[in-house]
């Protein structure tokens, strides 16, 4: 099928002008008479002229679009973040290309390659759980490809970063469990080397030590795929439930870990919070409707997307090389509901 849109050439031909005159008229140049401008503008509006993005991209060496690299769209945190990203990007005249890694390192490399090879002017990334080597990102960044990290950041990369206060979120959530009377608190965590995992784990540990509760290594479970697979959560929970002293509460340090924990308890008919209490990270907007209603640590995903995009666009549009980097930390929000009700 062919779909031919009107070009500057078409306008020029129709009006008996040169393309340069038309171009200048459209950009409201002082060199063009008011009369001609009106003529061109009227014609352009009538035939719905839009500049060809490919031509513009070729000429100006920029595409006015940015890329996003995230693990998956069908994750409430990320879809909310995307909304924040789009709101800023669209407002500033950029469009957005979203790519998913599904937590795969290989796909992350491929996506970065694709985005950097001139399809976008820069990108936002929240690295995949599988990613342990950041060369594919830092190499591009070193060469001048603008990258801003959010959520799951890369410590070694010297760029703008927008993160959630994972430490505080985990600390507050764990403290809440302790204050509610729970003592044997386990943690379901994502893979060790992930920045957010470390921070959340540290928050968890600090809350325990601040309350003079010893840390049992048995209570510390890592899930390599961040809870994406039910099986890994099942295995971790099975191990926890086989311990002599079972945990009486769990802090689930990721969205998928939280929901799969709930699924586990439902399947195994383990009463929450009677047998085991829980508070966990989640950005789902229906956690209040779960059984029981879920206590959560909620991340300001939309805001995160907004802030990160603003920083990225500033970086892209900056004339000189950026040398001072923002490191923005957004505050935690904790919502207490039935799943972590006071221990009887």
Partner DNA sequence: CTTTAAAACGGGAACGATTGCGTAAATAAA
Partner DNA sequence: TTTATTTACGCAATCGTTCCCGTTTTAAAG
Q: Identify the three-state secondary structure at position 275.
A: coil
| CA 144 – CA 339 distance, rounded (Å) | 48
Q: Which does 262 bind (CB under 5 to 8 A by kind): a copy of itself, DNA, none?
A: a copy of itself
Return residues touching a copy of itself (CB under 8 A). 1-5, 48, 50, 52-58, 63, 72-74, 76, 79-80, 82-83, 86, 95-98, 100, 113-114, 116-119, 122, 140, 143-146, 259, 262-263, 266, 284-286, 288-293, 315-316, 318, 321-322
Least distance from a copy of itself to the Cβ atom of residue 59, Å? 8
Q: Tell me how far, at minimum, the Cβ of 24 lies from a copy of itself, in Å.
A: 21
Cβ distance 292 to 338 under 8 Å? yes
Residue closer to a copy of itself (CB basis): 146 or 169: 146
Residue 242's contacts (CB-CB under 8 Å, 6 or more residues apart) are: none
**209 touching DNA, by CB under 7 A:** no
- Residue 119, binding choice from a copy of itself, DNA, none, Cβ under 5 to 8 Å by partner class: a copy of itself
Using CB under 7 A as the binding rule, whether residue 16 contacts DNA is answered as yes
Instruction: Pick what 271 binds: a copy of itself, DNA, none; C-beta below 5 to 8 Å, kind-dependent.
Output: none
In this structure, are strands 333-335 and 327-330 parallel, antiparallel, or unpaired? unpaired
List, in order, residues 6 or more apart from 201 with CB less than 8 Å away.
170, 187, 189, 220, 253
Within residues 32-51, the interface with DNA by CB under 7 A covers 32-33, 35-36, 49-51
CA-wise closest residue to 257 among 288, 287, 286, 236: 236
Structure tokens at 11: 């306008």
CA–CA dist 219, 252 (Å, integer) = 12
Among 26, 328, 334, 341, binds DNA (CB under 7 A): 26
Smallest gap from residue 198 Cβ to a copy of itself (A): 27
Token digits of residue 329 = 């930390």
CB atoms within 10 A of CB 235: 13
Q: Are 204 and 182 in contact (CB under 8 A)?
A: no
Site for DNA in 49-68 (CB under 7 A): 49-52, 54-56, 58-61
In the complex, minimum distance from the CB of residue 140 to DNA, in angstroms, rounded to a whole number: 17
Stretch touching DNA by CB under 7 A, among 3-11, 134-142, 249-257, 280-288: 3-11
Whole-angstrom distance, CA of residue 249 vs CA of residue 186? 6
CA distance 331 to 299: 8
Q: Which residues bind DNA (CB under 7 A)?
A: 7-9, 16-21, 23-24, 26-27, 31-33, 35-36, 49-52, 54-56, 58-61
């Amino acid at each position: 099928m062919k779909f031919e849109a009107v070009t500057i050439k078409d306008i020029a031909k129709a009006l008996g002008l040169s393309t340069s005159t038309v171009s200048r008229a459209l950009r409201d140049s002082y060199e063009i008479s008011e009369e001609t401008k009106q003529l061109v503008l009227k014609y352009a509006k009538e035939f719905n002229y839009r500049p060809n993005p490919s031509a513009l991209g070729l000429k100006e060496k920029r595409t006015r679009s940015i890329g996003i690299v995230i693990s998956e769209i069908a994750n409430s945190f990320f879809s909310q973040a995307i909304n924040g990203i789009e709101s800023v990007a669209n407002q500033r005249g950029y469009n957005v290309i979203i790519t998913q890694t599904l937590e795969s390192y290989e796909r992350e490399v491929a996506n970065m390659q694709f985005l950097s090879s001139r399809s976008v002017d820069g990108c936002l990334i929240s690295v995949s759980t599988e990613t342990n080597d950041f060369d594919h990102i830092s190499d591009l960044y070193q060469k001048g490809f603008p990258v801003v990290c959010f959520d799951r950041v890369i410590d070694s990369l010297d760029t703008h970063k927008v993160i959630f206060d994972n430490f505080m979120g985990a600390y507050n959530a764990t403290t809440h469990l302790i204050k509610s009377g729970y003592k044997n608190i386990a943690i379901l965590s994502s893979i060790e080397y992930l920045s957010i995992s470390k921070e959340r784990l540290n928050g968890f540990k600090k809350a325990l030590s601040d309350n003079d509760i010893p840390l049992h290594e048995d209570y510390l479970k890592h899930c390599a795929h961040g809870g994406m697979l039910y099986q890994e959560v099942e295995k971790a929970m099975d191990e926890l439930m086989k311990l002599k002293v079972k945990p009486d509460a769990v802090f689930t340090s990721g969205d998928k870990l939280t929901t799969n924990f709930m699924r586990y308890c439902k399947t195994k008919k383990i009463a929450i919070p009677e047998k085991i209490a829980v508070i966990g990270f989640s950005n789902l907007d229906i956690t209040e409707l779960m059984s029981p209603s879920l206590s959560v640590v909620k991340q300001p995903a939309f805001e995160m997307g907004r802030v990160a995009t603003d920083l990225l666009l500033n970086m892209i549009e900056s004339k000189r090389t950026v040398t001072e980097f923002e490191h923005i930390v957004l505050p935690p929000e904790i919502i207490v509901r039935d799943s972590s009700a006071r221990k009887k």
